[in-house]
Structure 1
Amino acid sequence: MSDHAKRLLPLLAVLALSGCASIPRNTANTCAIFAERSGFVTNWRRDAERASAEFGVPVSVLMATIQAESNFEARARPPRRWILGFIPGPRISTAYGYAQVLDGTWEDYQRKTGRYSDRRYDFADAIRFIGWYHANSARILGISKSDAYRLYLAYHSGHAGYGRGVWRDRPEALRGAKRAQTMASRYAAQLQRCR
């Protein structure tokens, strides 16, 4: 390897990683997202299609879940509670990453799948987790793998919570489910045009 190439490697690594950390410019268009995130280091279309093939959940539903949860922010976290209005307190939950997965749920996923090196801020890992979770929702709760609305409610409330109907009293869950349903339909139509 030439000296010039050796000097360029750190710059290329920084550029590749910085592109992964930012939110895509147009999160309402899955074709634009995939075009923006298709490089030699990262390829979100490939990652989404692999998760879809492995778990049988449509790419549009997987992508809509991420859009509803984090709007494609790699290190998204819920807001903090504030003490006396100015002292930062604890966050309202341990949700983190693209998929906004709680610590305990992520640990359960890693234990059940053996994927201990997966990270919630890695798109490929997060979308695989969503596919896995939605496939379990289909198996346990009988929800269709293409039903973005009900899959989101089960995702937000947990399997036991969904079964008890806790989402009925959670406006944020109902709003998120409607958003996931709308985005899944939009993404599915867009994917037909950009294949």
Structure 2
Amino acid sequence: MRKSLLLLASSLLLASCATTPPSNVENACRIFREKPDWFDASKDVEEKWGLPIQVQLAIMRQESSFKHDAAPPRDTFLGIPMWWRVSSAYGYAQVKDGTWDWYKDATGNWGADRDDYDDAVDFMGWYANVSQRTLGISKWDAYNQYLAYHEGHGGWKRKSYNSKGWLVRVARKVDGNARTYGEQLRGCRDSLGTSHWWWPF
């Protein structure tokens, strides 16, 4: 009986932790020690699509602050909030409806959900792969990967970001965060992942 209760409590705790943002988003090692299943998912994406883990983290941090149900603000009419939002972007990776459908069609991942970390980072890896294949952007280039992520592949080709100083500044911030995360991961990567967890029951 006691063992069953412990298993239930553990399952509930893990379910809660899976949907709450990390307590410290500044440090990649602490993010993954708090959420080892996230590291496993990000490592799988790195191996599958070639998108470095630090770039995944930096883009997700900028897009959603690691909130599973992040969404843009509601639109307003004459200063009154409406029920619709300014964009259909949703979830960890802030992906719009049409782009998410494109991803599912292209990969066959029909059951993918934008509020699932595993699916969100797989989308990021797939999108970065398309960016490299069609635009020649290195997957290690967080700055340009983010600009293509935000503006779309057509927007990046047109260099639409050149008229958006604020976006260029954000892309530089993403690049800086990716570099910081990369340095941190070099010191802790070998100790991360669910295989390093010890269960007392």
TM-score, length-scaled by structure 1:
0.91
**How far apart, in 1, do the equivalents of 2:18 and 2:4 lie?**
22
Paired residues in the alignment total 189
Residue of structure 1 equivalent to 2:154: 160
Matches within 5 A, 1:25-104: 25-38=23-36, 43-104=37-98
1:103 CA drift (Å): 0.5
Question: 1:141-190 CA deviation, whole Å, 9 max, x = no partner?
Answer: 00111000000000001111111111222344323311210110000000
TM-score, length-scaled by structure 2:
0.88
Question: 1:46-77 CA deviation, whole Å, 9 max, x = no partner?
Answer: 11111001111111111111111111111100
Gaps of 5+ in 2: 190-201
1:99 CA drift (Å): 0.5
**How far apart, in 1, do the equivalents of 2:100 and 2:81 lie?**
29
Q: 1:87 to 1:143 in 2, by over 3 A?
A: closer
1:11 CA drift (Å): 3.5
RMSD: 1.5
Give the counterpart letter for 1:140 in structure 2: T
Aligned 8 A contact 2:50 2:129 in 1: yes
Residue of structure 1 equivalent to 2:195: none
Q: Secondary structure at the match of 1:23?
A: coil
Give the counterpart letter for 2:138 in structure 1: S
1:118 maps to 2:112: yes
1:89 CA drift (Å): 4.2
Of 7-16 and 54-63, deviating more is 7-16
**How far apart, in 1, do the equivalents of 2:168 and 2:19 lie?**
29
Question: 1:2-56 CA deviation, whole Å, 9 max, x = no partner?
Answer: x444455543332211111111011111101000002xxxx11111111001111
Gaps of 5+ in 1: none
**How far apart, in 1, do the equivalents of 2:121 and 2:110 lie?**
15
Of 74-83 and 185-194, deviating more is 74-83
